[in-house]
Amino acid sequence: MKSSLKRHLLDRATAPYRGLGVFHYRWGRGKLGNDPIFCALLERQIFPDGARITDLGCGRGLLAAWFLAAERLADEGQWPDDVTPPPRGLRFRGCELMGREAEVGNRALQPLYPGRVELSGGDMRAADLSGLNAIAILDVLHYIDYAEQDRLLDKIRSALPAGGLFLTRVGDAEGGLRFRISQLVDRGISFVQGHRLPRMWCRPVKAWVAALEARGFKVECLPMNGHNPFANVMLIARVLP
Ligand SMILES: C[S@@+](CC[C@H](N)C(=O)[O-])C[C@H]1O[C@@H](n2cnc3c(N)ncnc32)[C@H](O)[C@@H]1O
C-alpha cells in the first residue's frame, strides 16, 4: 500500500480512540502502523463485501477500526482508483478476555459506525459463533491449551458455512530463534496488558495446517512478520464447499 494512503488510513482508523486516552490511541497507532497483517488483509481482499466477522481476542477492536475506516475513506471518494478497494458493509463482533478493552473499542467505534461493531468481554472458548461467515483469531490461539485449541477449532468449523473463512495468525514453533524472539515479545506485551506471564501452547505451522485440513479446511500459509525477526504465519483457512 502506498505510504500516503497508509498514513491517511492509519489517521482515520485511530482517530476514534483519541478521546479515550493517550494510551489507547498510541497503542492503536503502534499496532496498526507497524503490523503488516492489516495492509495484507486489505491488499488480498480477504473479507468479501458484507462479511459478518467475529474477532476472537479482539483487544480494542483494531481490526474493525481498520476496515471500517477504509470503507469510510472509499465512501468519501478518498480511496485511489488504482488501489484494491476495501470491502463494503462488513459487520464485526468481537470477544475479548479483558472486558475493559472491548469496552474501549465499543466506545470508540459504535458512535461512528452504528450497528457495525459489537465487542464483548469474555472468553473466546465460550463465544457465540452463530450467524457469521468469517472468524479471525490473530495471535491468540496459543493462550489456550492444546485440547482447548482442538475444541475451539471444532466449534469454529461447525459454525462456518461452506466457503466460510477462518483467519488466524500463529507462531511457528519450528521457527528457531525467530520463534523464540516472538515469544519473548508476546510475553512482554501480555504482561503490559495485565496477563502476568502466561504459559503458551504453540505448534509448528505444519501441525496447525494438518489440524485444519483434518476438519475440512483448505489452507493457505503466508509469513506475516514485516520487518520484525518473528516466525509468525497467517493461515487463511476456507471451508471446502
Ligand atoms: C496479542 S493480543 C492480540 C489482540 C488482537 N487480536 C490484535 O491482533 O490486535 C492477544 C489478545 O487476546 C486476548 N485473549 C487471550 N486469551 C483469550 C481468551 N481465552 N479469550 C478471549 N481473549 C483472549 C488478550 O487479552 C489479548 O487482548
Q: What is the pLDDT of residues 9-49, one digit of tens each?
A: 999 999 999 999 999 999 999 999 999 999 999 999 999 99
* pTM of the complete model: 0.95
With a Cβ cut-off of 6 Å, ligand 1 is lined by 31, 57-59, 62, 95-98, 101, 123-125, 138-140, 143-144, 189, 193
pLDDT at 10: 98
Ordered DSSP codes for 178-202: HHHHHHHHHHHHHHHTT--S-----
| Residue nearest atom 10 in ligand 1 by C-alpha distance | 140
Cα–Cα distance measured from residue 218 to residue 216, given in angstroms and rounded to the nearest whole number: 7
Q: pLDDT band at 197, cuts 50/70/90? A: low
Which CATH number is 3-115+130-239's, of 3.40.50.150, 3.40.50.1820, 3.40.50.720, 3.40.1050.10? 3.40.50.150
Share of the chain above pLDDT 90, in %: 85
**CB pairs under 8 A, 24+ apart, for 39-42?**
39/1, 39/6, 40/222, 40/224, 40/234, 41/66, 41/67, 41/167, 42/1, 42/66, 42/67, 42/70, 42/84, 42/86
Q: What is the pLDDT of residues 133-190, one digit of tens each?
A: 999 999 999 999 999 999 999 999 999 999 999 999 999 999 889 989 988 888 887 7
| Residue nearest atom 14 in ligand 1 by C-alpha distance | 57
Q: Which strand (E) or helix (H) includes residue 16?
A: helix 3-18
Q: Probe ligand 1: pick from 24, 95, 97, max atoms within 8 Å of CB?
A: 97
Name the residue ranges covered by the structural domains of the chain. Answer: 3-115+130-239
Between 183 and 126, residue with greater pLDDT: 126
